[in-house]
């Protein structure tokens, strides 16, 4: 009903980005630029999007500098390691896949997000 007023999205598609309580602070539904956009505050959303992108670039530059420094000192550098997933080779396809390694649901139950980086 009223699909023409909702860009012909299905009911499921319309609810996918709805905020949910008690999720990790890194949950994409918490992106401040997206929240501003969805409330129709386009100019503020664009400013916030630029801020977030620059923050991401700064983190990337820092990691690249750390990698170079480790290389120069002859040390290993692991780089970014995802919190709840690990990369593995799929035994059937030989493709690299991400496999859940645990921890998210336990952190959610305890509401202990101390391991999450500040990405927003």
Alpha carbons 15 and 39: distance in angstroms, whole number: 15
- For the CA atoms of 10, 108, 60, 120, the dihedral, rounded to the nearest 10 degrees, stands at 70
> In this structure, what DSSP letter does residue 83 have?
S
DSSP letter string, 2-44: -GGGGTT--HHHHHTT---TT--TT-GGG-HHHHHHHTT-HHH
Stated pTM of the model: 0.76
Confidence of residue 33 (pLDDT cuts 50, 70, 90): very high
Alpha carbons 70 and 61: distance in angstroms, whole number: 14
Alpha carbons 31 and 92: distance in angstroms, whole number: 36
∠ CA 103-99-89, nearest 5°, is 145
Task: For 1-32, write each residue's pLDDT tens digit.
Answer: 675 666 777 888 878 888 899 999 999 999 99
Confidence of residue 105 (pLDDT cuts 50, 70, 90): very high
- 99, 9 contact by CB (below 8 A): no
């Amino acid at each position: 009903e009223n699909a023409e007023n909702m860009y012909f999205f299905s009911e499921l598609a319309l609810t996918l980005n709805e905020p949910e309580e008690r999720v990790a602070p890194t949950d994409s539904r918490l992106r401040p630029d997206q929240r501003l956009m969805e409330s129709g505050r386009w100019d503020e959303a664009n400013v916030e999007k630029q801020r977030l992108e620059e923050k991401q670039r700064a983190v990337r530059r820092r990691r690249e500098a750390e990698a170079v420094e480790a290389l120069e000192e002859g040390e290993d550098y692991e780089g970014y390691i995802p919190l709840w997933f690990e990369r593995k080779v799929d035994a059937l396809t030989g493709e690299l896949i991400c496999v859940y390694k645990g921890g998210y649901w336990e952190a959610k139950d305890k509401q202990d997000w101390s391991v999450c980086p500040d990405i927003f």
